[in-house]
Structure 1
Amino acid sequence: MSALPRVAAFLDGYTGTGALSSSSAKLALRDQRLIRRFSTKVAAGAPTPTDDHLDDDCDLTDLLVRNPETTFIYTVAGDSMDLAGILDGDNVLVDRSLSPSSGDIVLAVLAGGEHTIKRLTVRNGVPELHPESSNPENKPLVAEGGELSLWGVVSAVVRRMR
């Protein structure tokens, strides 16, 4: 497969001012990251017959990211959110454009500059960060007097299975 069409599309995005059009650059790389998608849903319970019909290509960025300019990927370290399905080594997508609400899983920055992912609860106007963990040593964090900043909302979890 020739790289010439991708290179041509990339160069077409050059504006002459030293800047590249991000949409042209994305189009140039788009065909490298597409995954074939089946239109048939797969049962997670009792097996069901499928028609093995390939529907279209799927770009995981389009599937998982609502706001590309404000979404970042973090690798999780620790077990404080394992009962929420977020495990050590997982990658989480954090969207800064989403307004954190009580009940969301958020990325917060503590006063010392540490980053943490926890479930946000707001009680009497005070944000609390709650772990959802099988480890009893993980305790809630209660913010008083600007001890933390809510940096973004976790919008997706990505995990390799093998």
Structure 2
Amino acid sequence: MRDGIFLPHSSPLTLALPHPLALTRAGLSGFPSPAQDYEGRTLDLNERFVKRPSATFFMTVTGDSMTGLGIDDTDLLVVDRSIDARAGHILVASVEGELIVKRYEMLGRRPYLCSGNAQYPPIPLSNLDCQVWGVVRAVIHEYAV
């Protein structure tokens, strides 16, 4: 499976977008003020998802091997090279020259890269050329509208 296309990312631009405060209530107790949605809050997606700009890149996923873990074909990944990989992290790695996205797991006492789709068996890392490119910090899924 080919899991991605590396998209280089230069220093992020600041773009503050409207971000109204959304509150959830346990029950109905009247109507909220219509002005509540326009309180002037903003959200910069780079500030939210890019914790270390010099170590962050974006990657578009191709394939279906991670669908069970919420990563679908054409999703955008935010990948941080500064995070040390641990079991349970989703990684971008080069394995035998192929760039893939998998979850790093210890099965028994051996390291594996595992898919989120049962059609793809775990990849044992013993005796393979594997270089971790980074840890996936966020997944951005765009709905077809």
Counterpart residue number, 2:136: 154
Secondary structure at 2:46 match in 1: helix
Counterpart residue number, 1:114: 98
What's the CA shift for 1:152?
A: 0.8
What's the CA shift for 1:98?
A: 0.3
More helix by share: 1
TM-score (norm 1): 0.70
Displaced runs of 4+ in structure 1, greater than 3 A?
A: 45-51, 123-126
Instruction: Select between 94-103 and 47-56 the one with higher mean Cα deviation.
Output: 47-56
Structure scoring higher RCO (CA < 8 A, sep ≥ 6) equals 2
Structure showing greater Rg: 1
| 2:46 is equivalent to residue 64 of structure 1 | no
Distance 1:58 1:88, change over 3 A: same
Give me the whole-angstrom Cα distance separating, in 2, the residues matched to 1:123 and 1:149.
19
Counterpart residue number, 1:13: none
Give me the whole-angstrom Cα distance separating, in 2, the residues matched to 1:73 and 1:145.
29
What's the CA shift for 1:125?
A: 5.5
Q: Percent identity?
A: 30
Unaligned runs of 5+ in 2: 1-9
Unaligned runs of 5+ in 1: 1-21
Secondary structure at 1:38 match in 2: coil
| 2:82 is equivalent to residue 97 of structure 1 | yes
What's the CA shift for 1:150?
A: 1.7
Matches within 5 A, 1:46-85: 50=32, 51-85=36-70
1:38 aligns with one of 20, 43, 48 = 20
Q: CA RMSD in A?
A: 2.7
The residue type paired with residue 55 of structure 2 is T
Counterpart residue number, 2:122: 140
